[in-house]
């Protein structure tokens, strides 16, 4: 009789283990689905406007730093176009950063940056540099000396 009870106990334990393993398997499937859902949300939802603003400030700071700072001649220099309008040279550098950034992340607007790309965008900004021709213009402008007219 004891053997039958022991056998029955083993059968019951085996059934309980099977049920437990099925529950663990279902939990793992549910967790994987939840992770996939979260990743999809991260990939398709856009950043909060406050974070976009912070990224914009970092982009601006990076461009200004690449030009030698706000007191640098390259940052302060104006160009006059064919129609006589003044344009800051820095606008060209800001535009270059904008085009590079949007091309890298396949964006039409900065606001389209997905949550999943935030860290990548910050890394890109920290590493960004103007192209060689722009760097040369920056260096030339920053090396220019100012002439003071005595009148």
Q: From the first residue on, what is the mean pLDDT of each consecutive set of 10 residues in the chain (151 residues)?
A: 74 88 87 80 77 95 98 92 90 97 94 91 98 97 74 56
Locus of tokens 């022991």:
6
Contacts of 37 (CB under 8 A, 6+ apart): none
CB neighbours of residue 83 within 10 Å? 5
CB neighbours of residue 94 within 10 Å? 15
Report the distance separating Cα 98 and Cα 123, nearest Å: 15
Alpha-carbon distances, residue 9 vs 1, 2, 13, 84, 93 (angstroms): 12, 10, 6, 96, 78
State residue 19's pLDDT score: 86
Contacts of 96 (CB under 8 A, 6+ apart): 130, 131, 134
Q: Is the pTM of this model over 0.75?
A: no
State residue 7's pLDDT score: 82
State residue 80's pLDDT score: 85
CB neighbours of residue 63 within 10 Å? 20
State residue 122's pLDDT score: 97
Q: Are 114 and 44 in contact (CB under 8 A)?
A: yes
């Amino acid at each position: 009789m004891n053997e039958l009870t022991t056998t029955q106990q083993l059968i019951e334990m085996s059934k309980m283990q099977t049920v437990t393993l099925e529950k663990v398997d279902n939990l793992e499937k549910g967790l994987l689905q939840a992770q996939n859902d979260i990743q999809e949300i991260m990939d398709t939802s856009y950043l909060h406007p406050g974070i976009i603003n912070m990224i914009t400030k970092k982009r601006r700071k990076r461009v200004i730093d690449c030009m030698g700072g706000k007191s640098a001649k390259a940052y302060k220099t104006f160009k006059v176009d064919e129609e006589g309008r003044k344009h800051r040279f820095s606008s060209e550098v800001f535009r270059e950063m904008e085009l590079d950034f949007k091309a890298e992340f396949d964006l039409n607007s900065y606001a389209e940056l997905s949550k999943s790309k935030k860290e990548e965008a910050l890394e890109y900004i920290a590493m960004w540099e103007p192209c060689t021709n722009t760097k040369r213009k920056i260096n030339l402008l920053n090396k220019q000396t100012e002439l003071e007219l005595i009148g």
